[in-house]
Structure 1
Amino acid sequence: MNFLIINLLQDGGAMFMYPLLFILIICIALIAKAFLRSTENDKVVLLIKHISLFALVYGFFGFMMGMIQAFDSISSLNGDIASPILAGGLKIGLLSPSFGMFVFLITRLGLIGLTLKNNKH
């Protein structure tokens, strides 16, 4: 299982996937910190919202950069590219935005939990 995750991180592009992993760890730590605090966490919640949105956009930025490089490579081959190679490239290109969406969703679930916790008091 660990090797699968590491392979996905490498396949998706280390320049985008590892920062997204770091952002996920930061967001989880901030959410845990906010859960453990008994006071209002307006600044922390706002920070988490901004970081999660950044992760989403950063993932899609990685996709755009990867697609630009892929299309440059395709154009240099004069359009002679096999369908499996193109499909594999698209699959790898979609890893970065998928991970960005995963980080966004996990962070938003944490924010929903914080909202529910704060509304009970």
Structure 2
Amino acid sequence: MFDLFLQGGTWIMSILTVELICLLFAAWKAPAWVREIGLLVLVTDLIWQLKGMFNAAEVVQQVGDVPLTLVAGGLKVSFISLIYALLIYAASLVIRMLQKPRI
């Protein structure tokens, strides 16, 4: 599990983990913010992933002929943080559903 954390990129995975801690704290102290923090997690990761894809496209443009297996490996690694962000967002939705008053 720690290996996936490192492969996903220590900066973005650390930022997402801090946002997860904020989400759990908000579930306890500020329930109205749970959904917004979940959305912030998704936006943070999408911006980071788009930045990474832009940098990868620049490298491919400079190098020219890049093997498809190398590109596929880079895509696989870039999706690690996206999966983590989606799991955090799903947790925010579950927490939000549990906090809503019953009918």
Which of residues 34, 47, 57 in structure 1 aligns to 2:43? 57
Which of residues 64, 67, 71 in structure 1 aligns to 2:53? 67
SS in 1 for 2:66: coil
The equivalent residue for 1:19 is: 15
Which of residues 69, 73, 77 in structure 2 aligns to 1:84? 69
8 Å contact kept, 1:62–1:96: no
Whole-angstrom distance in 2 between the partners of 1:88 and 1:109: 32
Structure 1 residues not aligned, in runs of 5+: 35-43
Task: Please state how far the C-alpha of 1:77 moved relative to its aligned partner.
Answer: 0.8
8 Å contact kept, 2:34–2:95: no
Q: Which stretches of structure 1, 4 residues or more, deviate above 6 A after TM superposition?
A: none
Aligned length: 103
- Per mean C-alpha deviation after superposition, the further-off stretch among 19-28 and 50-59 is 19-28
Deviations 1:30-63 (A, max 9, x none): 32x25xxxxxxxxx22211211110011111111
Q: TM-score, normalised by structure 2?
A: 0.88
CA RMSD of aligned residues (A): 1.6
Which of residues 96, 105, 112 in structure 1 aligns to 2:90? 105
SS in 2 for 1:81: coil
Q: Which has the larger radius of gyration?
A: 1
Letter in 1 for 2:42: L
